[in-house]
Structure 1
């Protein structure tokens, strides 16, 4: 059950960034970042809250063979929260988790980032 749980709260994200309001764009971004980090996505769900008006935020979850990635966007606030958890059972996935979080932060290009880390188990 040993693992690493990383979170990041992003502020000052440009609301017009397609990944803020388009579930298909956010899903593709997450799949690419997961693969590039060396983790394995096994399923995903992207849910937009409200109408497809370009203003509604998204909650996206990618189930990983190693655990999960969750992304929540608030275009009206210019905010995003990121949550990456990896189990280290059978091998240390910590560097991959950090690479995934860093890649997503770069794409959203926030003005401010607050990071947290929790060692689990």
Structure 2
């Protein structure tokens, strides 16, 4: 489980999935809208806006779809490149979530794939949860800026 301690704000999981077995879902707006809703539901997040899907036309190496959903816990986004059989993924949350659940949802969407890139980043390690401490940190940084 990607866990959140009191020492950081949250976790950001970024992935590049390659060798996508079934690229058909990556061409379809409604499929991506449904997928984004199901993904964030599975990882226990709360949608506050979206999903929104946009199409990028152009040469095959740049053509694809982007889908994003704004969450009460932060955001989730995917960028698809069907002609390259690739997907870029970004899930950022202040609430713990399981990477295995994210990967399982993509397997359900496209079948087999390879993980070409994977990075888990602890975000906001100096970001205090206490509002008084946050004000002091902000004020100190503003004076030195």
TM-score scaled by structure 2? 0.67
Q: Does 1:116 align with 2:86?
A: no
Q: How many Å apart are 1:111 and its aligned residue?
A: 3.0
1:103 aligns with 2:104: yes
Q: Do the aligned partners of 2:21 and 2:113 also contact (CA within 8 Å) in 1?
A: no
Q: Which one of the candidate residues 27, 36, 44 is aligned to 2:42?
A: 36
Structure having the larger proportion of residues in strand = 1
Structure 2: unaligned runs, 5 residues or longer: 1-7, 125-145
* CA gap 1:105/1:6 in 2 versus in 1, 3 angstroms: same
Q: What secondary structure sits across from 1:5 in the alignment?
A: strand
Q: Aligned residue for 2:64?
A: 57
RMSD, matched Cα: 2.0
Q: Deviations over 1:49-99 (max 9, x none)?
A: 229xxxx41011000110000100001100001000002xxxxx2225x35
Q: Counting helix residues as a fraction of each chain, which structure ranks higher?
A: 2
Distance 1:29 1:73, change over 3 A: same
- Distance change in 2, residues 1:108/1:10 (3 Å): same
Task: Please state how far the C-alpha of 1:11 moved relative to its aligned partner.
Answer: 0.4
CA distance in 1, matches of 2:73, 2:100: 14
| CA shift in 2, pair 1:108/1:72, >3 Å | same
Tell me how many residue pairs correspond in the alignment.
Answer: 110
Matching residue within 78, 85, 91 for 1:78: 85
